[in-house]
A and B are shown apart, each in its own frame.
Chain A
Amino acid sequence: MSRRTTLGTLFISIAAIAAGYAGAFSKSGAPTWAPWLLALGIPVALGAIMVLGALRGNSGIGALRFPFALVILILAIGFGAALALPAADGPVSKLWLGLPPRAAIVIYGIGLLPIIILPIAYAMTFEEMTLSAADLERVRAIGRANELIERDNAKDPRRSISND
């Protein structure tokens, strides 16, 4: 997924969320499509900003597309199921791990499943896709060079990094 596509996706999903809010200002109350825009827009926005953070230069996100896609789907399906499934909970309802089904989808699906997927994906791909020792050394070399420049600047206070 390219950076341009990711940014476009982020912009569109934020715009969708904004449209959902705008719909709520209608005189007859929030239309039925308003929460759906948030239910779909929020997972896509979160996924897009995570992809944006994971992208390095012009390379894509490689294997990370699977956990990202999975979590976006989990959130979207979870919110969608909560919106779409009829209310049928009562004292004799079948419980899923101690909660009625729609509540279980929210708590376990939205609240816990992503924990199993994303932090582990982050750790497993860290050296290859996020930060390696070689990357760190490149950055530290620049840091050392900047320190020397700063010492020179201290001798001449007219020099500055800021432009405005």
Chain B
Amino acid sequence: MTDHLPVGTLLQTALPSATRPAVIAVGLAYFAVIIGISIWAARRTRTANDFFVAGKGIGLIALTVASVSVSVSGFAFIGGPGLIYAVGLGAMYIVLPAAVTNVMGAWVLAKRMRLLAEVRRLITIPDAIGARYKSRVAQGLSAVAIMVGIVGYMATNALAMGVVINAIFGVGLGWGIWIGMGITLAYSAAGGILAGIYNDVFQGTLMAVASVLVFLFVLGFGGGLGEISRTILARDPTFLGPWGRLTPLAALSFFFVFSMGSLGQPQAVHKYYMLRDPLQLKWYPLLKTLGLVLVLLLYFSVGVGVKAFVLDGRLAPLASPDQATPTLLLNATPIVLAALVFSGVAAATMSAANSFLNIGAAIVTHDLPIAFGRKVGNELKWGRIVTVLIAIAAAITAQKSGAMVAFLGIFGWGLFASTLVPALAVGLNWQGATRAGAIASISAGLIVTLALEITAYRKVFTFPAGVTASAVAMVSSFLVFFIVSWLTRDTAAATIDPDIRLVMDI
């Protein structure tokens, strides 16, 4: 949810140096745990099923914590608080949807995806789309759409990893990128998603603990939320207005894109396949929502708290909004807490990168061959090889200009949302959705997103305040899906196999 990055505001290209013995020690301990978990997981990864969906053997708690971890990128710890600092409470509309998205995902997708994995050996989101519509074209198109989004996400995550590792160890941005991607690659290639899941459990726990501690520190340092609010209201009441400095349209647009769009995020939806016992889905939304709230406490508290502390002179004015979290950590909090948070940021970016590496490898070795009527002989071997290639490509791309990397990263969330939500989320719950409707909506989402983002990036066109390419692409894709499905409604029944129909009826 927090990977959507407005250009120039969210991509952190530099952090102040945090190279201190305590920070380095915690950082080394963090990486040691990651390596240990990875070695354990690599020994248990024997098949493509293990590599891509952890053999459908993950328990509820592990899956929940892993899902929380992968839902939150480094943006929640660095860029997000910086955005609140810059625009006020309007930035909260990015994360407020967490109150409904997990249970919405549970009702709309979790059961159906998990039961699809019972009737067929599905391991990817395009697999589900292909099975639903009996269409290799739909499967291939959705795979291409996901791959385009992954290219951008991987580059921004590689860059973010480099920034954090450089801040912790002082090794330079280039080396930071290669070290971060190297470690992520090692456990992704060796242990696949199984290593990813259990590293996510560790990383998610670390992020939650760090977030809660920072939240409590900010409240204590500020004399309570009421005191913090009064400090801000005395000098900048707009900051704490319901929209902050954003227009209502802009804030509501954030809410729409990050709520409805959550149903199309492959790094989250893909995890439904992995739950060992589908009956445990009962508690999944409650646990995941509570976990997400804990992790997002830092997002709110640092953004609002640092604003108050700068206004009353306890912190020096910030050189840029993105310095909100580092400034607080390095000037006010105990150093061990700072170390935990910096490691938490590394954790968040590595968690996201691992998920996307795994999904990207599955697309190249599984979905695209199927779309062309072929099958790769040894998916596990080729999955590992492709994982290495994607990681290297991401690390090389991350060395390019920050603006280019930012551009590649910003449309990932919106691209996934506009191409996948109608065909997958609505399509799995509506037997009247047709193959033509799915293909049209995926295509519309892809074309509209890329066209609008590129024209905006090249400044050929400027959106009015509050309107984003992601939002326009998502509503376009929805409307195309409904209209084309209605126009081709006579074909609907023929595109559902009996086993898929059973899953949709339950």
CB contact under 8 A between A34 and B249, given known A53-B429, A162-B136 = yes
Let me know if A46 and B260 touch, CB within 8 A: yes
Q: Roughly how many angstroms separate A38 CA and B475 CA in the complex, as a whole number?
A: 12
Q: Contact check, B131 vs A20: say whether CB atoms are below 8 A apart.
A: no
Report how far A55 CA is from B464 CA in the complex, Å. Answer: 38
A72 CB, nearest partner CB in chain B, Å: 10
Interface hit among B208-216, B388-396, B498-506: B498-506
Interface residues of A in 31-45 (CB under 8 A from B): 34-35, 38-39, 42, 45
**Smallest Cβ distance from A24 to chain B, in angstroms?**
4
Q: Tell yes or no: B283 within 8 A of A by CB.
A: yes
Partner of B89, one of A7, A53, A106, A127: A106
Choose among A82, A140, A161 the residue that contacts B248 (Cβ–Cβ < 8 A).
A82
Cβ–Cβ contact A56 & B505, under 8 A: yes
Tell me, rounded to whole Å, the shortest Cβ–Cβ distance linking A7 to chain B: 6
Interface residue B62 (Cβ < 8 Å from any Cβ of A) = no
Check: B77 CB closer than 8 A to any chain A CB.
no
> Which B residues touch A25, using CB under 8 A?
464, 467
A14-B479, A35-B248 known; A21 vs B286 contact (CB < 8 Å): no
Count residues of chain B with CB under 8 A from any CB of chain A: 86
Q: Are A30 and B249 interface neighbours, CB within 8 A?
A: yes
B313 contacts the other chain (CB 8 A) = no
Please state if A99 and B118 are interface contacts (CB–CB under 8 Å): no
Partner among B109, B226, B249, B429 whose Cβ is within 8 Å of the Cβ of A20? B249
Contact B466 A24 (CB under 8 A): yes
- Residue B285 at the chain A interface, CB threshold 8 Å: yes
Among A24, A122, A161, which residue has its beta carbon within 8 angstroms of that of B286?
Answer: A122
Q: Can you name 8 A-B pairs with beta carbons within 8 Å? A: A38-B249, A98-B226, A119-B286, A123-B286, A130-B111, A130-B281, A142-B118, A161-B131
Does B242 lie within 8 Å of A105, measured CB to CB? yes
5 tightest A-B CB contacts, nearest first: A98-B225, A53-B108, A53-B107, A82-B242, A119-B286
Contact A46 B229 (CB under 8 A): no
Verify B224–A98 contact, CB threshold 8 A. Answer: yes
Given contact pairs A38-B253, A102-B242, A119 touches B102 in the complex (Cβ within 8 A) = yes
State whether A95 touches B241 (Cβ < 8 A): no
**Known A29-B464, A136-B278; 5 more pairs at CB < 8 Å:** A11-B479, A34-B249, A100-B240, A131-B111, A131-B281
Could you say which residues of chain B place their CB within 8 Å of the CB of A21?
253, 467, 471-472, 475
Q: Does B330 contact A (CB under 8 A)?
A: no
Whether B99 and A53, one on each chain, are in contact in the complex, defined by CB atoms closer than 8 angstroms, is no
User: In the bound complex, how far is the Cα of B479 from the Cα of A11, in angstroms?
Assistant: 7
Asked if A1 is at the interface (CB within 8 A of a chain B CB), the reply is no
Chain A 40-67: CB-based contact to B (< 8 A → 1; otherwise 0): 0010011001101111110000000000
The number of chain A residues touching the other chain, given as a range, is 35 or more
For A56, what are the chain B residues with a Cβ–Cβ distance below 8 Å?
A: 505-506
CB proximity of B120 to chain A, nearest CB, Å: 6
How many angstroms from the CA of A146 to the CA of B282 in the assembled complex? 27
Stretch at the interface among B197-205, B230-238, B342-350: B230-238
A50 lies within 8 A of B475 (CB): no
A72 to B247, CA, bound (A): 22
CB-contact partner of B240 in A29, A89, A126, A161, under 8 A = A89
User: Hey, what's the 0/1 contact readout for A79-94 against B, CB within 8 Å counting as 1?
Assistant: 1001100010111010
B289 close to A119 (CB less than 8 A): yes
List CB contacts (< 8 Å) of B286-314 with chain A.
286, 289-290, 293, 300
Interface of A is mostly: helix
- Residues of B close to A17: CB separation below 8 A: 256, 471, 475
Are A42 and B134 in touch, CB under 8 angstroms? Answer: no
What B residues does A3 contact at CB under 8 A? 430
Query: Chain A residues with Cβ under 8 A from B278's Cβ?
Result: 131, 136
> Does A15 interact with chain B (Cβ within 8 Å)?
yes
Given contacts A164-B134, A164-B137, contact A114 B465 (CB under 8 A): no
Cβ of A107 within 8 Å of any chain B Cβ, yes or no, is yes
Cβ of A69 under 8 Å from chain B = no
Complex interface residues of chain A between 109 and 164 (CB less than 8 A to chain B): 110-115, 118-120, 122-123, 126-127, 130-131, 133, 135-136, 138-140, 142-143, 146, 150, 161-164
Judge whether B115 is part of the interface by a CB distance below 8 angstroms. yes
Distance in angstroms from A120 CB to nearest chain B CB is 7
A120 lies within 8 A of B286 (CB): yes
**B-side contacts of A83, CB under 8 Å:** 248
Counting CB contacts under 8 A, is B103 at the interface? yes
Beyond A35-B249, A90-B237, whether A161 also contacts B497 by CB under 8 A is yes
A21 to B285: give the CA distance in the assembly, Å.
31
Question: Are B229 and A95 in contact (CB-based, < 8 A)?
Answer: yes
The interface centre, meaning the residue of B100, B115, B137, B283 with most chain A CB atoms within 10 A of its CB, is: B100
Are A122's CB and B103's CB within 8 A?
A: yes
Cα(A119)–Cα(B281), bound, Å: 11
Q: In the complex the two chains form, is B230's CB within 8 Å of A91's CB?
A: yes
Q: Is the beta-carbon distance between B506 and A49 smaller than 8 angstroms?
A: no
**Cα(A11)–Cα(B283), bound, Å:** 30
Q: Does B153 contact A (CB under 8 A)?
A: no
Contact A162 B482, beta carbon cutoff 8 Å: no
Give Cα distance in the complex from A17 to B300, angstroms: 27
A39 to B241, CA, bound (A): 16
Whether B92 sits at the interface, judged by CB under 8 Å, is yes
